[in-house]
Amino acid sequence: MTLHVFGAILTPEGIAANNRGESDGNITTLQKILWKGQVHTTVSSEAIRWAIRYIWQMENIPVNRIWDDTLEDFSWNDLARAVWNPENEGKVGLSSFIDDDVMGFMIAEGAKVDGSDEEEETGKKGAKKREKGTCTKRRGVLEISRAISLTPFAGDISFNAKSGTKGKTSLYGTEMHATRFQYGFAMTPDRLHVKERVFDTLDAIVSLGEVAGNHSRFLFDFAPDSVIFRITEDPAPRLLYSFEQGKDGKIRVPDLLRRLEAGDISPEELYIGGPITKTFEQEGVSGFNSYTGVKDANAAVKKTLSSAFGIGLPDA
């Protein structure tokens, strides 16, 4: 059977604002979605993936797509993936980028001759056929869900004024949301061409800083406050969006507790770190792997995967 790694992440409380570059009139908006009958703010999985890739870049782990802070643009070591050859891992440097392996890619190229310029002559001997386009692709191993705010959006807006030339004044506003965010991820390490990259991926997830910021106007810490990891042969996560916040401010996981009671999830599969561990203990759940901090939980998950796949830890 194949082992899968799933995770449910809960961020600390923070004030989200201007998490994308769009606006409504002179109001810079937060992205929102209807969730359980109420309006919640949300951050895209693409933004989280971007932040993970940027951590790899900052840690000097070779990535194909590189962000240039000066130019505020991307550059590629191998944009066309011309030398992508997983079988040569460790032998050809350009085939060994972690973001290509973990996150996947798709390079689609159209036919050199457009179909409208040279139509296929059907039913005739020696007919010319249309050229077909090519597609070099790899499906991402790391899957990330959208981040959803733990509390509904109340509509908070800050209004500001900026003096311009000749006494002119510009009025503008920014939507704000004091909340936590939760999101989930899934990985199947067997699908990686270099299995050790699961360690760098987990390390990046528990070390996320800024996600979805714009113009450096706000800082929201996306490093987990609580984590729930699951290592299992079950192909279904069964723990996405587990966190709920009551009117008393306490964090609970009622649906996950129900799944544990029903036997859909075995407590031995869970590696739980952060304040959420107290919730499980108060509910009388036993048998799960409990850790005070998220880094300790991450270290335990990496140790289990190292043993399961027979691969050495980076610092071993």
Identify which has the larger pLDDT, 35 or 85: 35
Identify which has the larger pLDDT, 88 or 111: 111
User: Is residue 7 pLDDT above 70, yes or no?
Assistant: yes
Predicted local confidence at residue 217, as pLDDT? 56
List C-alpha distances in Å: 102 to 97, 191, 225, 297: 9, 9, 24, 22
List C-alpha distances in Å: 91 to 48, 60, 83, 85, 311: 31, 19, 12, 10, 19
Residue 32, burial from CB neighbour count under 10 angstroms (0-12, 13-18, 19+): middle
Predicted local confidence at residue 255, as pLDDT? 96
Residue that the structure tokens 């895209």 belong to: 44
Mean pLDDT of the chain: 85
User: Is residue 49 pLDDT above 80, yes or no?
Assistant: yes
- Measured in degrees and rounded to the nearest 5, phi and psi for residue 278 equal -65, -35
Give CA–CA dist 47/210, Å, rounded: 10
| pLDDT single digits (tens) 167-205 | 677 777 888 899 999 999 999 999 998 899 999 999 999
User: Is residue 94 pLDDT above 50, yes or no?
Assistant: no
Predicted local confidence at residue 21, as pLDDT? 54
Which of helix, strand or coil describes residue 211? coil
Residues 6+ apart with CB under 8 A from 190: 2, 3, 309
94-113 burial, b for 16+ CB within 10 Å, e for fewer?
Answer: bbbbbbbbbbebeeeeeeee
User: Is residue 237 pLDDT above 90, yes or no?
Assistant: yes
| pLDDT single digits (tens) 251-293 | 999 999 999 999 999 999 999 999 999 999 999 999 999 999 9
Domain boundary assignment for the chain: 4-104+139-309
Predicted local confidence at residue 90, as pLDDT? 46
| pLDDT single digits (tens) 140-177 | 999 999 999 999 999 888 887 766 666 677 777 888 89
Predicted local confidence at residue 136, as pLDDT? 72
Identify which has the larger pLDDT, 9 or 75: 9
Predicted local confidence at residue 137, as pLDDT? 75
Predicted local confidence at residue 92, as pLDDT? 46
Contact 23, 157 (CB under 8 A): no
